[in-house]
A and B are shown apart, each in its own frame.
Chain A
Amino acid sequence: MLKNYFKTSIRNIKVNKSYALINVSGLAVGIAACLLLFLVIQFETSFDDFHPQHKKIYRIGSMFNSQEGTSYSGGVSFPVAPALRVDFPQIKQVASIYKHEGDQITVESYGKNLPKKFNKTDVYFTEPEFFSMFKFSWLTGDAKTSLSEPNNAVLTREIAEKYFGDWESAMGKTITRNNKELYKINGVLDNPPQNTDFPLGVVVSYSTLSNTIAKINMEDWVSTYSGACSFVILPDDLPVQKFNNELPVFAKRHKPAEYAKDTYIAQSLDDIHYDDRFGNFRRHTFSHSLIRALMLIGIFLIFIACVNFINLATAQAVNRSKEVGVRKVLGSNRSQLAFQFITETALITFAAVIAAIGIAIAVLPLLNQLLEVKMTMNFYNNSILLLFLSVVGVLVTLLSGLYPAVILSGFNPITALKSKISTKKAGGISLRRALVVLQFGIAQILIIGTLIVLNQMNFFRNASLGFDKAAIINVDIPGDSISKSKIEYLRFKLQQNPGIKNISFSFASPSSNGSWQSDFKFDHSTKSTDISANLKWADVDYFKTYGLEFVAGRQYFPGDTVREFVVNETMVKKLGIINPADAIGKELNFWDGEKVGPIVGIVKDFNSYSLREPMAPVVMSTWKNVYQTINIKIKPGAEKNTLAFVEKNWNEVFPDYVYQYKFLDETIADFYKQEDQLSKLFTIFAILAIFISCLGLYGLVSFMVAQRTKEVGIRKVLGATVGNIVYLLSKEFSLLIIIAFVLAAPIANFIMKKWLQDYSYRIEFGVTVFLIAIFGSLTIAWTTVGYRAIKAALANPVKSLRTE
């Protein structure tokens, strides 16, 4: 019986090639998109689930309460971990790990060549306990012995091969961090999996920290380092709620009284990849709402493809009515017929799934490139993927096959044999209309959403940040004091080049990823303010280089140490001063008198973080010892020569270090990398949705044109013009798309308003976006319908009438 069904199905598919092609390609594209989305979601939800104890591991995060609300950090102060061990003896496992970014690693090449230098390296300082908590496998060495002594280091296989050629020969060799600290390689880790938020590379024993030249104060309960994380494994008798209730007491016991408002909070390892309030070492979080959005898009795309199927199948039902009639007369009952049609759908779906796998394999590398990940599609060890595909296959078959099967098998055999089944009877024109409306509704929601995301991205790129970011490069300078003493010499050398307009040395550029924040005492107050000031240490040329404008007072005098302060308008507002000029002369006191001086000027506000964040209060002053970057404004047209000139002179001044520069506008664009990736992803899916919808529309119109050949012929004989005919054939679809728009617009409006809430600086979208969406979809639909319609209208009426 099944064989007979297969045979009939395959022959039927062959007879209606174009119909099958539309179905298969629409479904294949939909399923492929769904498959890729599944891979993305599977990848993003698998982070750090390979550690056997991942459910029990918690990270201690920090919670800061101030007048602006609550803010969070994934890091803590250094003494937290030792104190936890003492205060919570029931917690058996506590581990600290500290990530230090942007170090330079020098690898001796043992006489042969010059030493190899690698900059911008992340170095992880961690305790042996970390590796008994987290499962990273060792190629040689083990956690207990390899990381017990100070100045011992462990490399991952990839890094070991990069530094020493092959990992076996790395053991026992040495590397130098920032030209100061010598570490011995005492173990090699296998490369960490892709799905970890601990992208280890260079790992150094934790005991090294207290001995580093920078001399980190391990007893400081005030400073919080975002890279300093503490992990615990909570025992069964200490549930996380109970632990979180005890942490405020713990914080109060240890933190200085002034900071008693701030506390700690335990965050499950399973949440680390999703919660952007705390962040992670990978600097990439993937929120649950984003996962939901992607799932929804996947479901939408599959649904749109299924709608095509249903529409074409029911429209085509008339052609199948004779077969249904004959089979019924020959003794088939309804369920057998329904089963036969379902088999046919299953065959088409199967073909689509195979095609979808092919498409997905071809597209995966591009997706990896876009998202900057390395996902793989492997059917051998990813049984969930197979299961997913089977479920999708069955669902699609039922979703798209069931309704047409029920309709077709329900035909009365006598009417069916007399070919009296009309398109109207076969599954209701109104259902087909409703499905088309739904399809285009979804497509238009995606279009409107994409347009708004793109607009917001555009806004990010072009928004005025309050400072001049064009043609400015930032060049790193080494952190040691000898290098600092050479700053003025480098400035002098660089000034010789006429291509350079301005040079300024500073801690950071006006808008940068890393920031230095602190509270302070204002105007001789004994208590610290609630304000967390963003500290921008910079020489006096900074104002000129970035075009910062003053609203009151003057810039500070040149100097190497902190003597005078310039603040921004937001700071003045936060301090409760209405007229900026009134702030001049007031004293700022940082760290109990360590850095004290009067405010001498107020600059106009500029954005010191990404535009997701509100305007921050900024304090600026000179402080040569903390300068890390050179800000160089290049004259237009002189970029190429100037870049080479800067590199040459920099290398002459700092021969032991690696030269590195970046254009400021690129740095700023990087803030929005995730938004950028998402907007590209959304664009692709919106295009797919439109494509699949139009495919279905094309099929439907071709079919309707075929059905109405005679009508078109008669109308032409009666004197209808080509325009009349095209209008006749396309007016219904235009109406459907307009109805779809009326439904889609408010939904899209609601969703996108909500999405924009996350951004402190956001676009106001008006009617334009909606107008583009509706006219865009109408144009696309007309193009799709138009071809068939014009073809039908141009056909010779004599011919079309003769066929009857």
Chain B
Amino acid sequence: MLELKGIFKWYHSGNNRTFLLKNIDLSVKVGEFISVMGPSGSGKSTLLNVIGMLDTFDQGEYHFLNESVHKLKEKQRSILYKQYIGFVFQAYHLLDELTVYENIETPLIYQDIKSSERQAMVADMLDRFRIVGKKDLFPAQLSGGQQQLVGVARALIANPKLLLADEPTGNLNSKQGEEIMELFKELNNDGVTIIQVTHSEKNAAYGSRIINLLDGSIEH
């Protein structure tokens, strides 16, 4: 599915180069469920952002579904990413002034999908996550677990091939967290490739492979 070769990312502080990512080699196959672990500041989120094409890197190669991401222009990258990648955040990042329904619908709008089609897709998603009754509520009216459910629904609405999750259960209690992880497992069984960043061994166990990061490098 994707392959990182010798990825470096750094910034300058004074004359010193501080590395955020150091010589990352990683290949992910379709259908994998990977958990990225490591202490704070080890570069987990940066790696996820690089994979998600939200962030750039300074050196190395990145191939995604036969496309060389490092050679693509911003616009092409954006098309690629819109089509294949979904994101879930620790802080949910729902749009406060949109309802549940509208939040889930938004990615489709940016993909220029017709209104009638959008309605059907959102309705399916609401059914699948059993949140039809909440579709007209605003994020502030939901519990954390429900908000993250909406966040996942929103990430999945455009049928991504790859789901990236940055500590998806970090703000949830253990029961809510378990539910989300169960959901991820189901999705993975349905064929969605998942990469999650997590601190919890328990959550990492849901995955098929664990990658440990330390100071920007993968530990073997």
Which residues of A are at the interface with B, using a C-beta cutoff of 8 A? 1, 4, 7-8, 11-12, 15, 322-323, 325-333, 336, 413-414, 417
The answer to whether A4 and B54 touch across the interface, beta carbons within 8 angstroms, is: no
Question: What B residues does A326 contact at CB under 8 A?
Answer: 93-95
Question: What A residues does B75 contact at CB under 8 A?
Answer: 333
Question: What A residues does B106 contact at CB under 8 A?
Answer: 4, 327, 330
Closest residue of chain B to A332 (Cβ to Cβ) is B110
A75 CB → nearest B CB, Å:
70
Question: What B residues does A332 contact at CB under 8 A?
Answer: 110
Comparing B1-9, B34-42, B81-89, B179-187, the segment that makes contact with chain A is B81-89
Question: What B residues does A15 contact at CB under 8 A?
Answer: 97
A232 CB → nearest B CB, Å:
67
Main secondary structure of the interface of A (DSSP, over half): helix
The answer to whether A330 and B107 touch across the interface, beta carbons within 8 angstroms, is: yes
The answer to whether B93 and A325 touch across the interface, beta carbons within 8 angstroms, is: yes
The answer to whether A1 and B54 touch across the interface, beta carbons within 8 angstroms, is: no
Closest residue of chain A to B97 (Cβ to Cβ) is A11
* Known contacts A329-B87, A330-B106, A336-B110: A413-B95 contact under CB 8 Å: no
Docked complex Cα distance between A331 and B109 (Å): 9
Docked complex Cα distance between A326 and B97 (Å): 12
Docked complex Cα distance between A328 and B111 (Å): 12
User: B63-86, CB under 8 A of A: which get 1 and which 0?
Assistant: 000000000000100100110000
A330 touches which one: B55, B96, B110, B112 (CB < 8 A)? B110
Instruction: Please tell me if B44 contacts chain A, counting CB pairs below 8 Å.
Output: no
Counting from the closest, the 7 A-B pairs by CB-CB distance are A331-B110, A331-B82, A11-B97, A330-B107, A326-B93, A332-B110, A329-B87
Docked complex Cα distance between A1 and B111 (Å): 10
- What is the number of residues of chain B that contact chain A, defined by CB distance less than 8 Å? 25
A-B contact pairs, 7 of them (CB 8 A): A15-B97, A327-B106, A330-B87, A330-B110, A330-B154, A333-B78, A417-B93
Question: What B residues does A417 contact at CB under 8 A?
Answer: 89, 93
Instruction: Please tell me if B98 contacts chain A, counting CB pairs below 8 Å.
Output: yes
B49 CB → nearest A CB, Å:
6
The answer to whether A322 and B109 touch across the interface, beta carbons within 8 angstroms, is: no
Give the A-B contact count at a CB cut-off of 8 A: 53
* Known contacts A331-B82, A414-B54: A7-B102 contact under CB 8 Å: yes
Docked complex Cα distance between A572 and B79 (Å): 92
Name the residue in B75, B106, B111 with the highest tally of chain A Cβ atoms < 10 Å from its Cβ.
Answer: B106
Residues from 77 to 133 in B contacting A, C-beta threshold 8 Å: 78, 81-82, 87, 89, 93-98, 102, 105-107, 109-112
A329 touches which one: B93, B102, B111 (CB < 8 A)? B93
Closest residue of chain A to B49 (Cβ to Cβ) is A414
Docked complex Cα distance between A698 and B106 (Å): 35
The answer to whether B97 and A12 touch across the interface, beta carbons within 8 angstroms, is: yes
Closest residue of chain A to B78 (Cβ to Cβ) is A333
A323 touches which one: B95, B102, B158 (CB < 8 A)? B95
Docked complex Cα distance between A417 and B89 (Å): 10
Question: What B residues does A322 contact at CB under 8 A?
Answer: 93
The answer to whether B98 and A414 touch across the interface, beta carbons within 8 angstroms, is: no
The answer to whether A329 and B54 touch across the interface, beta carbons within 8 angstroms, is: yes
Question: What B residues does A336 contact at CB under 8 A?
Answer: 110
The answer to whether A8 and B107 touch across the interface, beta carbons within 8 angstroms, is: no
Docked complex Cα distance between A7 and B55 (Å): 30
Name the residue in A325, A330, A333 with the highest tally of chain B Cβ atoms < 10 Å from its Cβ.
Answer: A330
Question: What B residues does A11 contact at CB under 8 A?
Answer: 97-98
Question: What B residues does A327 contact at CB under 8 A?
Answer: 95, 106, 110
A323 CB → nearest B CB, Å:
6
Docked complex Cα distance between A224 and B119 (Å): 84
The answer to whether A331 and B49 touch across the interface, beta carbons within 8 angstroms, is: no
Residues from 23 to 75 in B contacting A, C-beta threshold 8 Å: 49, 54-55, 75
Name the residue in B94, B97, B105, B154 with the highest tally of chain A Cβ atoms < 10 Å from its Cβ.
Answer: B97
Question: What B residues does A414 contact at CB under 8 A?
Answer: 49, 54-55
Question: What B residues does A323 contact at CB under 8 A?
Answer: 95-97
Closest residue of chain A to B154 (Cβ to Cβ) is A330
B98 touches which one: A8, A325, A333, A413 (CB < 8 A)? A8
Closest residue of chain B to A10 (Cβ to Cβ) is B97
Docked complex Cα distance between A336 and B98 (Å): 17
Docked complex Cα distance between A322 and B95 (Å): 8
Docked complex Cα distance between A323 and B102 (Å): 14
A4 touches which one: B78, B82, B102, B158 (CB < 8 A)? B102
Closest residue of chain A to B164 (Cβ to Cβ) is A329
A639 CB → nearest B CB, Å:
70
The answer to whether B95 and A1 touch across the interface, beta carbons within 8 angstroms, is: no
B47 CB → nearest A CB, Å:
13
Question: What A residues does B94 contact at CB under 8 A?
Answer: 326
Question: What B residues does A12 contact at CB under 8 A?
Answer: 97
A569 CB → nearest B CB, Å:
79
Docked complex Cα distance between A83 and B116 (Å): 83
Docked complex Cα distance between A7 and B99 (Å): 11
Docked complex Cα distance between A4 and B95 (Å): 12
Docked complex Cα distance between A612 and B95 (Å): 66
Closest residue of chain A to B93 (Cβ to Cβ) is A326
Name the residue in B55, B82, B95, B105 with the highest tally of chain A Cβ atoms < 10 Å from its Cβ.
Answer: B95
B109 touches which one: A1, A325, A329 (CB < 8 A)? A1
Closest residue of chain B to A12 (Cβ to Cβ) is B97
Question: What A residues does B109 contact at CB under 8 A?
Answer: 1, 4
Residues from 151 to 165 in B contacting A, C-beta threshold 8 Å: 154, 158
Name the residue in A327, A331, A336 with the highest tally of chain B Cβ atoms < 10 Å from its Cβ.
Answer: A331
Docked complex Cα distance between A140 and B9 (Å): 92
B78 touches which one: A7, A325, A331 (CB < 8 A)? A331
B54 touches which one: A7, A8, A333, A413 (CB < 8 A)? A413
User: B138-159, CB under 8 A of A: which get 1 and which 0?
Assistant: 0000000000000000100010
Docked complex Cα distance between A336 and B111 (Å): 11
Question: What A residues does B102 contact at CB under 8 A?
Answer: 4, 7
B176 CB → nearest A CB, Å:
21
Closest residue of chain A to B166 (Cβ to Cβ) is A417
Question: What B residues does A329 contact at CB under 8 A?
Answer: 54, 87, 93
A7 CB → nearest B CB, Å:
7
* Contacts beyond the supplied A322-B93, A326-B93, A328-B54: 5 A-B pairs with Cβ under 8 Å: A325-B93, A329-B54, A332-B110, A336-B110, A417-B89
Question: What B residues does A7 contact at CB under 8 A?
Answer: 98, 102
Docked complex Cα distance between A413 and B87 (Å): 12
Question: What B residues does A413 contact at CB under 8 A?
Answer: 54
Docked complex Cα distance between A43 and B200 (Å): 76
Question: What B residues does A331 contact at CB under 8 A?
Answer: 78, 81-82, 107, 110-111, 158
Question: What A residues does B105 contact at CB under 8 A?
Answer: 4
Question: What B residues does A1 contact at CB under 8 A?
Answer: 109, 112
Closest residue of chain B to A322 (Cβ to Cβ) is B93
Docked complex Cα distance between A330 and B82 (Å): 7
Docked complex Cα distance between A333 and B81 (Å): 11
